[in-house]
Amino acid sequence: MCGIVAYIGPRKAHEVIIKGLKRLEYRGYDSAGIALLNGSLNIYKKKGRVSDLENTLEDEKLASRVGIGHTRWATHGEPNDENAHPHYSFSKNLAIIHNGIIENYSSLKQELLNKGYSFKSETDSEVFIQFIEDIQVNNDCSLEEAVRLALTKVVGAYAIVIMSKDDPNMLIAARKGSPLVIGIGKDEFFLASDATPIIEYTNEVVYLNDYEIAIIDNNELRLKNTQDVASTPYIQTLDMELEAIEKGGYEHFMLKEIFEQPRSISDCMRGRLNANKGRLVLGGIREYANKLVNADRIIIVACGTSWHAGLVAEYFFEEFCRVPVEVEYASEFRYRNPIIKEGDVMIAISQSGETADTLAAIELAKSKGAIIFGVCNVVGSSIARVSHEGAYTHAGPEIGVASTKAFTAQLTVLSMIALRVAHKKGTITERRYHELLVEMENIPSKVEKALELDAQIKLVAERFKDAKNFLYLGRGYNFPVALEGALKLKEISYIHAEGYPAAEMKHGPIALIDEEMPVVFIATRDSSYDKVVSNIQEVKARKGKVIAVVTEGDALIPKMAEFVIEVPKTDEALMPMVSVIPLQLLSYYIAVMRDCNVDQPRNLAKSVTVE
């Protein structure tokens, strides 16, 4: 959680930082702040959005060529002006921005209180900077050394940047567990939680590794680790266009990302799948490919939408690869002493590649000898880096907090992995394999067609925008789609929604159904179609309002449902990539009609880097 940006160089630091923070608001948006060296070390911070902060800044007073900024998602202390970052040290000579959590902050704080320090905020981050200053004073050492010593004593996760009143030419940064990228321009440096605030200035970046400290001093970048061992910065070239992180004429990032899906799914398959030639290549899975093929079982870990993609993958792998699959919430898996043996195979799915619970589940499995395959969207992210091998989803930056194009790209990658494994194992016939390859290539155009339902879905949204509850029901491959539809609605419109396997309804949720209850059925033509039709009748009999997503040409369900949304026909195993589209649009339009902040829903953040 939290976004951090820092700048040092010839530009006006506050302009670079404010612009960067706006790009990082998806990581947290309950307060924002900036520290600048203009005469003295000044901090400007405020509860609310980055634009609220920006409105209070008077440009002419801000001339500074160095600065640090932060947009917060509260962990310690409520969102208010005091708890907003940056934080001063006790003497006000230093300022810090911090993304992460210092777990031993209360004992450190007590130590400092005993020495006479006092605190303005309730945050662990203020303790962190006072602790650094205390070390510097007591050891009479450089700031660089004080930071290093402090990092050997703090427990937890951090990406930090520190600036000093006494040294306008220096920034010190460090990371463990929370991401930090350094952009290298001509005579200037940019630091940020991800590359989006950086790419308009430079595409040369260094991703900081855990336990690394970066010292930018007099226009030079040095790296060392917390054990004081220096290393050479590994400069990478970013492959990202500025337009990919802008709204491109859409009212919200979420809508743009929903409409990008035909392209993002194609991008995900490009160079990997060629049905004509019967070719399916995943360049990121080579050395360990046989581990997947020979696995006795596959453990999938993920959170939220990525977990839903994992559930679809469970159906896919079990059907075509004939291997048992366990799909685990990463947060539960890591704390329940799971049975993992040497050589077990884990697939970790994460859009951001930074989700703390998923990372911890990976570390646990790795420590017991499991082989990890990462399915991530963000290139160079922590999960991508700690995995043995994997495949990127290549969906492009996803900025809207509600995940959409990442989900369909995850399904694309997971289907490709499963088909590759099934083909190698011989658990799929040649005919079926080719059928599925061909059909996968058709998915982008089918998604394109599903997006044409936009106007029709607005009508459904208009009719149900004031509902208090929603039920989403589906079976088989469409059950995880029901979960995903419910999650999308909850997170951006704040309407309570539940997803269930349609047949489970009669074991409890049916009690909720009355004439007020909208029930969304994902009832496409597949092996459970007849059974889902019976479930629709059960809902109708109790006067529930049925909204049905059906396969085009369905003649039966339109006679029962209040609203019918027809999606193009595709293979049952690939249907989630198409049937989820109307549900994404429905949640989007309901949220817009309810005046909700679609891209930055309350209490949420795009990447959950705290457990």
The residues that are catalytic are 2, 606
To ligand M6R, the closest distance from the beta carbon of 326 in angstroms equals 18
The whole-angstrom separation of Cα 500 and Cα 508 is: 10
Which x/- pattern over 382-401 shows residues binding ligand M6R (rule: CB under 6 A)?
A: -------------------x
Q: Which stretch binds ligand M6R (CB under 6 A): 29-37, 231-239, 344-352, 457-465?
A: 344-352
DSSP assigned state of 556 = S
**Which residues face 161 on adjacent strands?**
97, 173
Q: Phi then psi for 103, rounded to 5 degrees?
A: -75, -30
Peptide bond into 86 cis (omega under 30): yes
- Min dist. Cβ of residue 377 to ligand M6R (A): 8
Q: Which of 71, 125, 136, 607 binds ligand M6R (CB under 6 A)?
A: 607
In the complex with ligand M6R, the residue whose CB is nearer, 401 or 453, is 401
Beta strand ranges found along 442-508 (DSSP E)? 469-474, 496-501
Phi, psi values for residue 410, rounded to 5°: -60, -45
Work out whether 491 is an interface residue with ligand M6R (CB under 6 A).
yes
CB of 550 to ligand M6R, least distance (A): 25
Q: How many CB atoms lie within 10 A of CB 490?
A: 18
Phi-psi group of 526: left, alpha or beta (phi > 0 → left; psi -120 to 50 → alpha; rest → beta): beta
Could you say which DSSP state residue 500 is in?
E
Of 305 and 551, CB closest to ligand M6R: 305
Q: At closest approach, how far in Å is the CB of 171 from ligand M6R?
A: 28
Residue 130 or residue 261: which is nearer to ligand M6R going by CB?
A: 261
Residue 8 or residue 401: which is nearer to ligand M6R going by CB? 401
DSSP string, 192-204: ESSSTTTTTT-SE
Of 68-76, 304-312, 455-463, 501-509: span binding ligand M6R (CB under 6 A): 304-312
Q: How many CB atoms lie within 10 A of CB 396?
A: 21
Distance between CA atoms of 539 and 518, rounded to whole angstroms? 10
As a whole number of angstroms, the distance between CA 200 and CA 40 comes to 29
CA-to-CA distance for 53 and 532, rounded, in angstroms? 52
The packing angle between helices 430-451 and 575-593, to 10°, is: 20
DSSP string, 584-604: HHHHHHHHHHTT--SSS-TT-
In the three-class reduction of DSSP (H, G, I as helix; E, B as strand; rest coil), residue 100 is classed as strand
For ligand M6R, which residue of 261, 305, 551, 609 counts as binding (CB under 6 A)? 305
Please count the residues of the chain. Answer: 611
- Check binding of 352 to ligand M6R (CB under 6 A): yes
Residue nearest to ligand M6R (CB): 304
Q: Which is nearer to ligand M6R, 70 or 490 (CB)?
A: 490
Q: Using CB under 6 A, pick the residue from 304, 390, 397, 485 that binds ligand M6R.
A: 304
Site string for ligand M6R, 200-239 (x = CB under 6 A): ----------------------------------------
Minimum distance between the CB of residue 115 and ligand M6R, rounded to whole angstroms? 40
Per-residue x/- marks for ligand M6R, 244-283, CB under 6 A? ----------------------------------------
Among 350, 387, 528, 609, binds ligand M6R (CB under 6 A): 350
Tell me how many residues contact ligand M6R (CB under 6 A).
17
- What CA dihedral angle connects 284, 287, 289 and 294, to 10 degrees? -160
Cβ proximity to ligand M6R, 66 vs 608, nearer residue: 608
Q: Minimum distance from CB of 385 to ligand M6R (Å)?
A: 14
When the beta carbons of 579 and 607 are compared against ligand M6R, the nearer one is 607
In the bound complex, what is the minimum distance in angstroms from residue 79's beta carbon to ligand M6R?
Answer: 19
Q: Which stretch binds ligand M6R (CB under 6 A): 33-41, 350-358, 433-441, 516-524?
A: 350-358
Pairing of strands 236-237, 273-274: unpaired
Q: Of 355, 401, 399, 345, give the one whose Cα is nearest residue 381.
A: 355
Q: Is the distance from CB of 195 to CB of 206 less than 8 angstroms? A: no
- In the window 394-433, what residues touch ligand M6R (CB under 6 A)? 401-403
Q: Name which position in 358, 382, 478, 524 contacts ligand M6R (CB under 6 A).
A: 358
Q: How far is the CB of 267 from ligand M6R (least distance, A)?
A: 18
**Residue (5 or 378) nearer to ligand M6R, CB:** 378
Q: In what order do the strands lie in the sheet with 518-522?
A: 496-501, 469-474, 518-522, 545-551, 563-567
Q: Which value, in Å, is the radius of gyration of the alpha carbons in the chain? A: 25
Interacting span for ligand M6R (CB under 6 A) from 108-116, 347-355, 416-424, 451-459: 347-355
Report the distance separating Cα 430 and Cα 435, nearest Å: 9
Complex with ligand M6R: residue 205 or 608, whichever CB lies closer:
608
Widest CA span in the chain: 81
Query: Shortest approach of ligand M6R to residue 305 CB, angstroms?
Result: 3
Q: Is 179 in the site for ligand M6R (CB under 6 A)?
A: no
Q: Does 355 bind ligand M6R (CB under 6 A)?
A: yes
User: How many CB atoms within 10 Å of residue 206?
Assistant: 21
In the block, tokens 């940056």 appear at 86
Contact residue for ligand M6R among 184, 608, 609, 610 (CB under 6 A): 608
592: Cβ contacts below 8 Å, ≥ 6 apart = 251, 252, 598
What CA–CA distance (Å, rounded) separates 310 from 171? Answer: 41
Piece in contact with ligand M6R (CB under 6 A), picked from 233-241, 511-519, 566-574, 603-611: 603-611
Helix axes 261-269, 405-425, angle to 10 degrees: 30
The least distance separating ligand M6R from the CB of residue 401, rounded to whole angstroms, comes to 5
Say whether residue 164 binds ligand M6R (CB under 6 A): no
Given the complex with ligand M6R, which of 234 and 335 has the nearer CB atom?
A: 335
Question: In the bound complex, what is the minimum distance in angstroms from residue 599's beta carbon to ligand M6R?
Answer: 11
Positions in the binding site for ligand M6R (CB under 6 A): 303-306, 350-352, 355, 358, 401-403, 487, 491, 604, 607-608
